[in-house]
Structure 1
Amino acid sequence: MAPPAETLTAERILEATEEVLRRHGPAKATVVDVARALGVSHGSVYRHFRTKAALREAVTKRWLDRTSQRLAGIAGATDRDPATRLREWLAALFDAKRHKAGDDPELFATYTVLTDEYGSVVGEHIEDLVTQLTEIVAAGVATGAFTADPRPAARAVFHATGRFHDPGYAREWQRPGVDEEFTAVVDLLLRGLTR
């Protein structure tokens, strides 16, 4: 008797989709490829994701959410002062993006294409990140460490550090001296928030 088949879940489908995208790229990856990788019919995949676009959007969101989830712990860490949290949060964002680009360049290139296709998912991701930054800045204002309107300041910090997390700059992230440049920008931003 054959062992029972593993239950097909949305998460298993997304894992397989990521693998298929890594192998074939976004232009050639199909739902049939995903189903084949899972050993199921493509109809089984469609029961979880009604369209190919819905599947691609979900896998893109999952990829972006990994970064958001990692950063949420830093944003909510009340055991550190807000300036330290802000510095750590920005460093973790830069580190996460740099690792995504450097550790798996094929998948990073794939997601760069997918994020262009699914701008609303990217918009939600950016909104989540700015909300996390707002939480940190608001904590700094509450303690008297920062003197800024939290939401606009958080948005400004996010945009001012774009060179260190926007995928358009990925080629620069391994360049010598980039860490020193990152530190200089963060130091300048922190000085601006404390005045």
Structure 2
Amino acid sequence: MAPSETLTAERILEATEEVLRRHGPAKATVVDVARALGVSHGTVYRHFRTKATLREAVTKRWLDRTSQTLARFVTEDHDPETRLRHWLAGLFEAKRKKAGGDPELFATYSVLAEEAGEAVSDHIDELTGQLTEIVRAGVESGAFTVADPAVAARAVFQATGRFHDPSYAREWLKPGVEGEFEALVELLVRGLR
């Protein structure tokens, strides 16, 4: 890090991500992060009190990227059914891109996600909240006929787990997976109608 650069939490998270990519979660240390930044490990600890806090923050940052990507589908200028289809396809694509684009980092985050239960739980709540908004808009427009948009949204999220839960990542590259995804989405949309 250049002497004139101010060390920010964001810069530490960027460096942590790079260290995790290089060393993996088992071998990456706060000392490695500090070394990559050219500072003492005590400086890193002033921003993140523990190694666990740092790892949870980097996991949250990673999960937030997906939430932010999907947020645009909630308010896009389409009917609720189209928004739902776009949102589900966007989630599947985001997860596939992470798994296929940087497999080492994806494997690292899969390990970190197991440790960061609260961050993952918050992420799932945020995603199902986005889905709830779409389903609620569908009910209000008459496109969907469900009694409770939040219950329906959670059911849709759980039903599509094979296409976004990291434990299924190996299946996302198999031939025909897109057709299976589209068939499931069609079934879910018909159920919401």
TM over 0.5, shorter chain: yes
Whole-angstrom distance in 1 between the partners of 2:26 and 2:3: 34
Partner of 2:130: 132
Amino acid at match of 1:82: P
Q: Deviations over 1:123-156 (max 9, x none)?
A: 0000000000000000000000000120010000
Name the structure 2 match of 1:25.
Answer: 24
Matches within 5 A, 1:46-195: 46-77=45-76, 79-148=77-146, 149-194=148-193
Q: Identity across aligned pairs (percent)?
A: 76
- Cα offset, 1:5, TM superposition: 2.2
Deviation at 1:76, TM superposition (A): 2.1
* In structure 1, distance between residues paired with 2:189 and 2:182: 10
- When the two chains are superposed, the root-mean-square deviation of aligned CA atoms in Å is 0.8
Amino acid aligned to 2:137: A
Report the residue type matching 1:177 in the other structure: G
Q: TM-score, normalised by structure 1?
A: 0.97
CA offsets 1:31-81 (integer angstroms, 9 cap, x no match): 00000000111111011001101000000000000000110111122x110
Give the ranges of 4+ consecutive aligned residues of structure 1 lying more than 2 Å apart after TM superposition. Answer: none
Which amino acid is the alignment partner of residue 42 of structure 2? G
Specify the SS of the correspondent of 2:82. helix
Letter in 2 for 1:80: H
* CA distance in structure 2 between the aligned counterparts of 1:5 and 1:21, rounded to whole angstroms: 26
Q: Quick one: which amino acid aligns to residue 113 of structure 2?
A: T
> Residue type matched to 2:5 in 1?
E
Q: Look up the equivalent residue of 1:17 and give its one-letter code.
A: T
1:118 CA displacement: 1.0
Structure 2: any 5+ residue segments left out of the alignment?
A: none
For 1:56 and 1:46, locate their aligned partners in 2 and report how far apart those are by CA, in whole Å.
12
Quick one: which amino acid aligns to residue 38 of structure 2?
Answer: G
Aligned length in residues: 191
TM-score, normalised via structure 2 length:
0.98
